[in-house]
Amino acid sequence: MGKALGRLRRLPEIECFFPKTMGEALSLLKRYNGKARVFTGGTDLLPKMKRREVVPRYLIGLNGIPDLTFIKYEKEKGLRIGTATTLNEILESSIVHRRYPILLEAVSQMASTQVRNVGTIGGNLCNAVPSADTAPPLIVLGAQLKIVGPNPRKERRVLVEDFFKGPDRTVLDSNELVSEIQIPPPSSKAYGTYIKHTLRREMDLAIVGVAVWFVLDSKKNICKDVKIALGAVAPIPMRAKKAEAILRGKPLDEDLIESAATMASEESKPIDDIRGSAEYRREMVKVLTKRAIQQSLEKI
């Protein structure tokens, strides 16, 4: 008991800034190079600070910057979501409902109303845990992140699938931040599903998360393109590319789906932890990949 309380002891003094523009936030990051952390909802960062996994000297709140909170859709360019957009704002977005239902499936299964009121899509990605629920759907949707830093000429875009480097690690430098998530326009012949497996329905991290997305030909028979992304079964959210290759260019019959699901399970690299054993997770990847493809086919 004493030990547990000891681990959650009071934080040292931390100076907090709440910039009103992205320029101000970036110059603060540069000024306190490496000693400052940005945050939005703080639902991941503050518990980590309490556990002393990170103890920044300075905190920079991004949630007062209007340029980071928006959801915009253009038919030709697709969807852009500001990084400080809360999970509940995404849940309430009619355009996400109509055009990107797989993202909605993920967000609606995350946390509680209270946590979703402050927790953000950018925070979920930048926290870089393998179980981040928005990662698998964003990977299969081909989403990319706009990354900005002190030098405007070095602004870059990185696919969500290339953003993660390991647990708690991303391609971001210490003075960079993610400003928005960009998702290509959806195809009318694309179908997808995200399934999150947990012991409790919400308020729990995924034991396994599977996102499946495919595009069918004009006769809705042949799988023209496909992506499968897995969460919580490797050090980073990952694509199951060998499983995808089994499906690409072929009609999605039962034997093929079974082979692809088995391959996805073989490609996964889970570990044992308190939520489940590696063996159980591998088996669940197979079950859920198959189920996600079948559920997507039911949407045709």
When asked if residue 161 is in the footprint of ligand FAD (CB under 6 A), the reply is: no
Count of residues in the chain = 300
Can you tell me which of 19, 78, 119, 130 binds ligand FAD, judged by CB under 6 A? 119
Contact range with ligand FAD by CB under 6 A, out of 34-42, 136-144, 157-165, 282-290:
34-42
Q: Is residue 231 within 8 Å of residue 209, measured between CB atoms?
A: yes
Residues 231-250 that bind ligand FAD (CB under 6 A): none
When asked if residue 205 is in the footprint of ligand FAD (CB under 6 A), the reply is: yes
Classify burial at 124, counting beta carbons within 10 Å of its beta carbon; exposed 0-12, middle 13-18, buried 19 or more: buried
When asked if residue 138 is in the footprint of ligand FAD (CB under 6 A), the reply is: no
Contact range with ligand FAD by CB under 6 A, out of 37-45, 69-77, 92-100, 269-277:
37-45
Can you tell me which of 123, 130, 137, 186 binds ligand FAD, judged by CB under 6 A? 123
Residue 183 and residue 216: Cα distance in Å, rounded?
20
When asked if residue 23 is in the footprint of ligand FAD (CB under 6 A), the reply is: no
Instruction: Kindly provide the residue ranges of all beta strands, DSSP E only, lying in the chain, ordered along the sequence.
Output: 15-17, 36-39, 58-61, 71-74, 78-82, 144-148, 156-159, 164-166, 169-170, 177-183, 190-197, 208-216, 223-231, 238-239
Can you tell me which of 44, 105, 161, 267 binds ligand FAD, judged by CB under 6 A? 44
Q: What DSSP string runs through 103-120?
A: HHHHHTTSS-HHHHHH-B
Structure tokens at 88: 């509940």
Contact range with ligand FAD by CB under 6 A, out of 117-125, 152-160, 222-230, 270-278:
117-125
Which of 69, 265 has the CB closer to ligand FAD? 69
The CA R_g of the chain, rounded to the nearest whole Å, is: 20
**What minimum distance in Å lies between the beta carbon of 43 and ligand FAD?**
3
Residues 6+ positions from 230 with CB-CB distance below 8 Å: 136, 208, 209, 210, 211, 237, 238, 239, 240, 264, 267, 268, 285, 289
- By CB under 6 A, how many residues form the interface with ligand FAD? 30
Q: Using CB atoms, what's the residue nearest to ligand FAD?
A: 123
Classify burial at 266, counting beta carbons within 10 Å of its beta carbon; exposed 0-12, middle 13-18, buried 19 or more: middle
Which of 123, 192 has the CB closer to ligand FAD? 123
* DSSP-assigned letter for residue 185: P
Can you tell me which of 36, 139, 177, 252 binds ligand FAD, judged by CB under 6 A? 177
Contact range with ligand FAD by CB under 6 A, out of 10-18, 116-124, 184-192, 251-259:
116-124
The kind and range of the H/E element at 240 are: none
Closest to 149 in 3D by CA, of 126, 183, 179: 179
**What minimum distance in Å lies between the beta carbon of 247 and ligand FAD?**
27
When asked if residue 122 is in the footprint of ligand FAD (CB under 6 A), the reply is: yes
* DSSP-assigned letter for residue 219: T
List the x/- string, 259-288, binding to ligand FAD by CB under 6 A: ------------------------------
Structure tokens at 48: 């980590």
When asked if residue 69 is in the footprint of ligand FAD (CB under 6 A), the reply is: no
- Residue ranges that bind ligand FAD, judged by CB under 6 A: 37-45, 62, 83, 87, 110-111, 115, 119-120, 122-124, 126-127, 131-133, 172, 177-178, 203, 205
